A and B are shown apart, each in its own frame.
Chain A
Amino acid sequence: MHRSAPQPLKADGVPPTPQIAGGGRVSQLWYAVVFPELIDAAYSAAVLQRLCLHAQTFTSFVSIEPPNALLLEIKGSLKLFGSLERLHADIDACWRRLALQAYSAAAPSTLAALWLARSAAHTGNPADRPPVIDDLGALPGHLAEMPIACTAWDIARLETLRAMGVTRIGELLRLPRAGLARRLGSDTVQDLDMALARQFAPRRAFVPRERFRARCDFETEIENAAYLEKALEPLIGRCAQFLRERQAGIQALRLKLRHRAEPASCVHVGLASITSERRRLTDVLTEKLTQLELAAPVRGMELISGSLRPLSAGSLDVFAGLAGSRAGAGDRYDSLPQLVERLRARLGEDAVYGVASIPEHRPEAAWRRVHELPLPSASRADGKMIERGAGEGMPRPVWLLDAPQPLASVPLILEQGPERIESGWWDGKGVARDYYVARRTPDAHRSHGAKLWVFQERQSKRWYLHGMFA
Chain B
Amino acid sequence: MDARESSSLADVLADARVWKLKDASAAPARPVWSTGKSALDARLPGGGWPTASLIEVLLDDTGLGEVQLFLPALVECQRRMGQDGSAGDVSWLVWIAPPHEPYAPALAQQGIDLTRLLVVRPTSATEALWAAEQALSSGICAAVLLWLKGTDDRWLRRLKLAAEAGGALGVLFRPERHRFESSPASLRVLMTQGEHEVRLDLLKVQGGRPGPVDLGGS
Interface residues of A (CB under 8 A from B): 319-320, 322-330, 332-336, 338-340, 342-343, 346-348, 350-357, 363, 366-369, 373-374, 376, 378, 380-381, 385-392, 395-402, 442, 446-452, 467-470
Contacts and interface: CB of A to CB of B under 8 A. Distances in A.
Contacts of A342: 134
B167 A332 contact: no
Interface string B54-76: 00000001111111100100000
25 contacts: A320-B88, A323-B85, A323-B90, A324-B88, A328-B30, A329-B52, A330-B166, A335-B140, A346-B127, A347-B131, A354-B117, A354-B118, A355-B114, A367-B104, A381-B83, A386-B111, A386-B114, A388-B111, A392-B105, A398-B102, A447-B61, A448-B195, A449-B194, A450-B63, A469-B68
A452 B107 CA distance: 16
A450 B68 contact: no
Contacts of A355: 101-102, 104, 107, 114, 117, 119
Given A326-B90, A367-B104, A450-B61, A354 B140 contact: no
A366 B102 contact: no
Interface stretch (B5-13, B14-22, B92-100): B92-100
A328 B164 contact: yes
A354 B193 contact: no
B197 interface: yes
Contacts of A374: 115
A329 B166 contact: yes
Interface of B: 28-30, 52, 61-68, 71, 82-90, 92, 98-111, 113-115, 117-123, 127, 130-131, 134-135, 137-141, 164-167, 193-198
A335 B138 CA distance: 8
Contacts of A326: 90, 139, 167
Contacts, number: 215
Contacts of B104: 355-357, 366-368
B84 to A, nearest CB: 6
B140 A334 contact: yes
Closest 4 CB pairs of A and B: A324-B85, A323-B88, A450-B63, A396-B106
A380 B196 contact: no
B52 A470 contact: no
A320 B127 CA distance: 26
A250 B117 CA distance: 25
Contacts of A353: 118-119
A376 B88 CA distance: 9
A399 B167 CA distance: 27
A470 B118 contact: no
